[in-house]
Amino acid sequence: MAPSGVAPFWMSPYGPVLDVAWQVGGSDAHGGFTADGYSRPPVSFGIAFGVRLAAEGDQVSHYYEDHDLSRFGEMGRNAPELWDKFNDWYQATFKEGSLTGREKALIALGVAHALQCPYCIDAWSQECLEKGSNLDQMTEAVHVAAAIRGGAALVHGVQMRKRNDELSM
């Protein structure tokens, strides 16, 4: 349900659909983001983030609007060199290597949950489906992330115990 006073995304007129920077026959298999705010789809469609374009005049009254994702590329406007480095690194990271693209997508899905990033969860859920993962595998990946988060909290209990030992008679 969309928040009241804000047009739900499916009713928003979206901006111009731009031609993407498609690299025909190139090695760019994992998409990326252009500095003008548009995402570039990878060959596998395994786009890391969404493609919805922000509409002019959209009200900005809530965090985590899903169409804001397509503005991610704006982060390249004021520090383009750093942005390009991030983009190159990001694309290289998700190329098939010792791990398959499907395995990497499952890791990313788990990390997205650990970080509780709604953009990442949306994008990597879709990516996992496109790469052939099923709901059992995706759920296990989320449990792995949750278990590590839970364990990380719990293991700090040792610190609590040490402090207790120091302070107590």
Partner 1 sequence: MEALLELPTRNGRRAPRPVSEQRFPSFDSRLARHGLHPLRATGIEVFQINVGKLCNQTCRHCHVDAGPDRSERMTRETAEACIRALERTDAHTVDITGGAPELNENFRYLVDASRALGRHVMDRSNLTVLLLRSQADLAGFLAEHEVEVIASLPYFLAERTDAQRGEGVFDRSIEALRLLNRLGYGQGGKLRLNLVYNPTGAFLPGDQDALEREFKRELDRRYRIHFDRLYTITNMPISRFLDFLLESGNYERYMERLVNAFNPAAAEAVMCRNTLSVGWDGQLYDCDFNQMLEDTVGFGAPTHVRDFSADLLAKRRIVTGLHCYGCTAGAGSSCGGTTA
- Cβ 119 vs Cβ 66: under 8 Å: yes
Instruction: Give the list of residues 6+ apart from residue 138 with CB closer than 8 angstroms, or none.
Output: 106, 109, 125, 128
Span near partner 1 by CB under 8 A; candidates 81-89, 107-115, 132-140, 143-151: 132-140
Paired tokens of 144: 């792995």
Asked if residue 153 binds partner 1 (CB under 8 A), the reply is no
| By the rule CB under 8 A, 95 interacts with partner 1 | no
Task: Identify the CA nearest to 116 among candidates 152, 75, 149.
Answer: 149
Q: Which of 27, 36, 45, 156 binds partner 1 (CB under 8 A)?
A: 45
64 sits near partner 1 (criterion: CB under 8 A)? no
Q: What share of the chain is helix, strand, coil (3-state, %, to 5)?
A: 55, 0, 45
119 touches partner 1 by CB under 8 A: no
Choosing from 32, 52, 54, 110, the residue that interacts with partner 1 (CB under 8 A) is: 52
Q: In the complex, which residues of this chain contact partner 1 (CB under 8 A)?
A: 10, 13-14, 17-20, 22, 24-25, 29, 39, 41-47, 51-53, 96, 100-102, 126, 129-132, 134-135
